[in-house]
């Protein structure tokens, strides 16, 4: 099969090592020519980063207000994390779980203590953590709750985002995520996010778990009604159903608390963690739960070549240690309040609504002003990196190491766009 393209010959033949270091167009063309088009990036080619700031190949600096979808809570190249990773790189990086290693035990112990759970199951990506939690919930339903096989169901929320695997997109209601990937995996029910009555009506004797995001990030930083998480916890308790919280984006200090569930003093049965757990250096994820849940996983029934490897465990343990002081949770709360105050002043001036939880915001752009994509492009021109979510919403998640001046710069950039 012959593939045709109108890209320049240079994009087809250039060796990346020979590209001019300051040539944005060459990098864009090379990427578009050889990398699948599963993203639609803004036209900026990043080359380095430190703290809350990144620099492109032409030397321009930008405030990173996406932070790798919360993977960079601690900023780019945090010296403490880089040093720990460098130290471990020189010692041991991978053994597979066919053997013990000297980093996994301490990491598991410390992450279990942070979550208040008895055990963790380490994986790599956030989607793998969700897939693992789904398997755990189904097996728990059969072996512990007594649901007849293969009838176990899991209730998820409309507007959810838990990953891109075939099983996970099977319970997405986003057409872009689901179109042309059928047949879909059965065993899931969807109910409106924030609607306790709908959730109660959906629970039956086959229900193994309720799976939710305490804040729906990909949907535009959607915060549930006050008391909703407590209501979910009560329903799960009453029906012997696992409450499973996807804290992959919302957890690890992003919302001003260690976990977003903490805002309602709710402890789920299962935490799914990822993104920031790897410090922005390496993919690290985990499922945390008590032994009566995770003990259904036995040797040979689930695994990962890279899950729990020494490098991942060393970085993850350092992240946990950084969170134990409460410094980053407090920074998210303080800076988030500053961001909220600045953005809320723009409502009615090109902004329809603002939702914030800690240092995380969804800004709904007035259709008469521009689309979310257009505002993101205008922010880029003003030295701020952000990204739209679902058309008219711009999602903001600056690294927690940002300064007050950085937050003011972000608000000023938004104000400049809204006020012309």
Q: Quick check: is 406 catalytic? A: no
Q: How many CB atoms lie within 10 A of CB 20?
A: 12
Residues in the chain: 420
Question: CA neighbours within 13 Å on the CB side: how many for 79?
Answer: 0
Q: Note the pLDDT of residue 386.
A: 98
Domains, the chain, with CATH or none: 79-323 (3.40.640.10), 327-418 (3.90.1150.10)
Q: Note the pLDDT of residue 18.
A: 63
Q: Note the pLDDT of residue 367.
A: 95
Q: Name the nearest CA neighbour of 365 among 323, 341, 409, 396.
A: 396
Enumerate residues 6+ apart whose C-beta is below 8 A from 104.
122, 308, 310, 313
Helix (H/G/I), strand (E/B), else coil: 69: helix
Cβ 127 vs Cβ 165: under 8 Å: yes
Residue 285: strand pairing partners: 123
Active-site residue among 64, 110, 145, 161?
A: 161
Question: CA neighbours within 13 Å on the CB side: how many for 199?
Answer: 27
Q: In the sheet where 384-385 sits, what is the strand order?
A: 46-50, 53-56, 61-64, 384-385
Q: Name the nearest CA neighbour of 29 among 43, 39, 18, 17.
A: 43
**C-alpha gyration radius of the chain:** 22
Residue 197 tokens, joined: 């009555």
Active-site residue among 110, 246, 269, 406?
A: 246
Q: Quick check: is 275 catalytic? A: yes
Cβ 75 vs Cβ 90: under 8 Å: no
Distance set, CA 23 to CA 9, 62, 280 (Å): 15, 17, 26
Residue 137 tokens, joined: 């919930």
Q: Name the nearest CA neighbour of 127 among 283, 312, 261.
A: 283
Q: Note the pLDDT of residue 419.
A: 87
Q: Note the pLDDT of residue 4.
A: 39
Question: CA neighbours within 13 Å on the CB side: how many for 63?
Answer: 25
Residue 71 tokens, joined: 């993977």
Q: Quick check: is 259 catalytic? A: no
Residue with tokens 């880029």: 380
Q: Name the nearest CA neighbour of 411 among 348, 316, 338.
A: 338
Mean pLDDT, 10 residues at a time, over the chain (420 residues)? 43 54 90 96 97 97 98 98 98 96 98 98 98 98 98 98 98 95 97 98 98 98 98 98 98 98 98 98 98 97 97 98 98 98 97 98 97 98 95 96 98 94
Active-site residue among 275, 306, 387, 406?
A: 275
Strand 351-356 and strand 361-365: pairing? antiparallel
């Amino acid at each position: 099969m012959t593939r045709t393209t109108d890209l320049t010959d240079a994009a087809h033949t250039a060796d990346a090592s020979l590209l001019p270091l300051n040539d944005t167009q060459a990098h864009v063309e090379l990427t578009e020519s050889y990398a699948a088009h599963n993203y639609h990036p803004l036209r900026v080619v990043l080359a380095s980063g430190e703290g809350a700031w990144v620099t492109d190949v032409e030397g321009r600096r930008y405030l990173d207000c996406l932070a790798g979808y919360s993977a960079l809570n601690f900023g780019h190249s945090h010296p403490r994390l880089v040093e720990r990773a460098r130290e471990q790189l020189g010692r041991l990086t991978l053994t597979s779980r066919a053997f013990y290693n000297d980093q996994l035990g301490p990491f598991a112990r410390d992450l279990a203590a942070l979550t208040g759970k008895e055990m963790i199951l380490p994986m790599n990506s956030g989607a793998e953590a969700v897939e693992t939690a789904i398997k755990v919930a189904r097996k728990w339903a059969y072996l512990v709750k007594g649901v007849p096989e293969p009838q176990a169901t899991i209730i998820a929320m409309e507007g959810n985002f838990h990953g891109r695997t075939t099983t996970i997109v099977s319970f997405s209601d986003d057409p872009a995520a689901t179109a042309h990937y059928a047949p879909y995996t059965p065993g899931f029910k969807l109910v409106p996010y924030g609607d306790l009555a709908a959730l109660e009506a959906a629970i039956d004797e086959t229900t193994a778990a309720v799976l939710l995001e305490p804040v729906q990030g990909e949907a535009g930083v959607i915060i549930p009604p006050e008391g909703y998480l407590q209501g979910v916890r009560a329903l799960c308790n009453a029906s012997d159903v696992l409450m499973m919280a996807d804290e992959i984006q919302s957890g690890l200090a992003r919302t001003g608390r260690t976990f977003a569930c903490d805002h309602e003093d709710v402890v789920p049965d299962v935490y799914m963690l990822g993104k920031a757990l790897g410090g922005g250096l390496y993919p690290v994820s985990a499922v945390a739960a008590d032994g009566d849940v995770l003990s259904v996983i036995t040797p040979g029934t689930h695994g990962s070549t890279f899950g729990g490897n020494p490098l991942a465990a060393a970085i993850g343990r350092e992240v946990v240690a950084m969170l134990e002081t409460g410094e980053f949770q407090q920074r998210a709360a303080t800076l988030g309040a500053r961001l909220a105050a600045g953005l809320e002043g723009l409502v009615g001036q090109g902004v329809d609504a603002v939702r914030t939880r800690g240092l995380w915001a969804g800004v709904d752009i007035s259709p008469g002003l521009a689309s979310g994509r257009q505002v993101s492009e205008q922010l880029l021109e003003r030295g701020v990196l952000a990204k739209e979510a679902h058309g008219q919403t711009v999602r903001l998640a600056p690294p927690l190491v940002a300064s007050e001046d950085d937050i003011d710069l972000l608000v000023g950039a938004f104000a400049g766009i809204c006020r012309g």
